[in-house]
């Protein structure tokens, strides 16, 4: 077990709705990264938060947004959901961003109908 917890485990939404996914990082870790993993593909980097500030972003539109709280837990928000947003959303925590090992949670499976 990595100590990284994500909620909820599964979620079903309809197109156009908004969703919030949550992640609690491993104790002592101050960096959270979010990834989207489509079926049969590797995870794709969405963005990273380090000490409550966004610290890098992948090729995702602005309707993907995030937040990191003082206890280093994090949220991923997706507005105006599209069918292609259906995927496994993974959160990974690490220490001080950069080169350090990222430890992943079990993910949230989002289905958009």
Partner 1 sequence: EDQVTQSPEALRLQEGESSSLNCSYTVSGLRGLFWYRQDPGKGPEFLFTLYSAGEEKEKERLKATLTKKESFLHITAPKPEDSATYLCAVHWGAQKLVFGQGTRLTINP
Residues that bind partner 1 (CB under 8 A): 2, 4, 33, 35, 40-45, 48, 50, 55-56, 58, 90, 92, 97-99, 101-107
Cβ atoms of 37 and 44 closer than 8 Å: yes
CB of 16 to partner 1, least distance (A): 28
**CB-CB contact of 92 with 35 (8 Å):** yes
Distance of closest approach, residue 81 Cβ to partner 1, in angstroms: 22
For the CB of residue 84, give the shortest distance to partner 1 in the complex, in Å.
17
The neighbour count for residue 64, using CB atoms within 10 Å, is 18
Beta partners for residue 11, in sequence order:
110
Nearer to partner 1 (CB atom), residue 78 or residue 91? 91
């Amino acid at each position: 077990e990595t100590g990284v917890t994500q909620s909820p485990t599964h979620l079903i939404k309809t197109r156009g709705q908004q969703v919030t996914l949550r992640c609690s990082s491993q104790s002592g870790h101050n960096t959270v990264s979010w990834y989207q993993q489509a079926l049969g593909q590797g995870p794709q980097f969405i963005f990273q938060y380090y000490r409550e500030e966004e610290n890098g972003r992948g090729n995702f539109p602005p309707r993907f947004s995030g937040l990191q709280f003082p206890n280093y837990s994090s949220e991923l928000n997706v507005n105006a959901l599209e069918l292609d947003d259906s995927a496994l959303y993974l959160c990974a925590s690490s220490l001080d961003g950069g080169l350090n090992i990222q430890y992943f949670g079990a993910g949230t499976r989002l289905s958009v109908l």
